[in-house]
């Protein structure tokens, strides 16, 4: 257990991912707790040159202020690299919390930055653009079953989990050691259009659904991924869900 946070760098709302979607097997941890966080580069506005084209992470100490629910906490945050992290923080920014190097266990939305007034000024460097979505491939389709943990609006997710039988979003697989992406995959292979077909919709008690995924954008390399590998879903540039494959993605050749 970590030490309590007396001089926080920021406050944030943290949503712990349910075990069935790849979160901690025993649910949210005891607190205060130290965990690893990662700043996805494609949503960075303030960054340093060494952060480009990679995920940059550090250790965060989480000390709850209010337990909104068992899985959603309002918390004080402090960082081992306190002054190095402050320029990367801004209100409403999403941050992923992970354990074990390749497992997303929570998503956080920064509520307020509490560091020095000049610490969060923008870097003079321009923000990198998002990698493009691969163009549709009319001959191949990758299908897989997955469990999805929909984020609440408090952490940047949708106001209400989707109830329609099928809809389209972007599935994103980051490079580097955190997200389980094949080493030779290039940037344009990391974001894919996907149709989500509901198998078991969200219940009244849990924001978790089981779905069948239809990847439509040249995603044949995703067949290298395995059951249990994670990715996240985006809409309008926001992370709206964390998902885990229930089975290995398989390629379907249309017309066969």
Whether the pLDDT of residue 74 is over 70: the answer is: yes
Give the mean model confidence (pLDDT) for residues 124-138.
46
Q: Are residues 147 and 219 in the same domain?
A: yes
CA distances from 195 to 168, 173, 219 (A): 4, 16, 13
Which DSSP helix (H) or strand (E) runs through 83? helix 82-85
What is the average per-residue pLDDT within 36-55?
Answer: 49
Residue 131 belongs to some domain of the structure: no
CA atoms within a 13 Å half-sphere pointing along the CA-CB vector of 244: 19
Which of the given ranges, 118-132, 148-162, 176-190, 240-254, has the highest pLDDT on average?
148-162
pLDDT at position 164 over 70: yes
d(CA 130, CA 128): 7
> Is residue 205 in some structural domain?
yes
Q: Is 193 a member of any domain?
A: yes
Name the least confident of 5-14, 71-80, 218-227.
218-227
Residue ranges making up the domain that contains 152: 140-253
Q: For position 154, what pLDDT does the model report?
A: 93
Share of the chain above pLDDT 90, in %: 29
Distance CA 21, CA 191 (A): 20
Residue 4 lies in a domain: no
Residue 71's region, left for phi above 0, alpha for psi from -120 to 50, else beta, is alpha
Q: What is the CATH number of the domain that holds 248?
A: 2.40.30.10
Predicted TM-score (pTM) of the model is: 0.75
Element (H, E) at 82: helix 82-85
């Amino acid at each position: 257990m970590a030490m309590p946070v007396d001089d926080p760098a920021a406050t944030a709302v943290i949503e712990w991912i349910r075990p069935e979607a790849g979160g901690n097997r025993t649910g949210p941890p005891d607190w205060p707790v130290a965990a690893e966080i990662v700043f996805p580069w494609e949503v960075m506005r303030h960054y340093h040159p060494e952060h480009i084209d990679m995920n940059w992470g550090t250790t965060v100490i989480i000390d709850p202020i209010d337990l909104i629910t068992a899985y959603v906490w309002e918390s004080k945050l402090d960082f081992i690299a306190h002054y190095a992290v402050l320029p990367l923080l801004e209100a409403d920014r999403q941050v992923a919390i992970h354990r074990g190097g390749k497992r997303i266990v929570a998503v956080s939305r920064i509520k307020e930055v509490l560091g020095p007034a000049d610490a969060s000024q923008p870097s003079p460097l321009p923000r990198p653009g998002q990698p493009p979505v691969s163009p549709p491939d009319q001959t191949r389709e990758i299908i897989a079953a997955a469990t999805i943990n929909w984020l609440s609006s408090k952490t940047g997710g949708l106001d209400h989990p989707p109830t329609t039988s099928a809809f389209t979003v972007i599935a994103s697989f980051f490079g580097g050691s955190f997200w389980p992406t094949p080493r030779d995959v290039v940037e344009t292979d990391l974001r894919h259009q996907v149709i989500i077909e509901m198998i078991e919709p969200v219940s009244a008690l849990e924001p978790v659904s089981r779905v069948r995924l239809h990847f439509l954008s040249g995603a044949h390399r995703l067949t290298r991924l395995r059951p249990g590998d994670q990715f996240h879903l985006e809409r309008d540039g926001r992370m709206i869900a964390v998902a885990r494959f229930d089975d290995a993605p398989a390629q379907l050749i249309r017309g066969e």
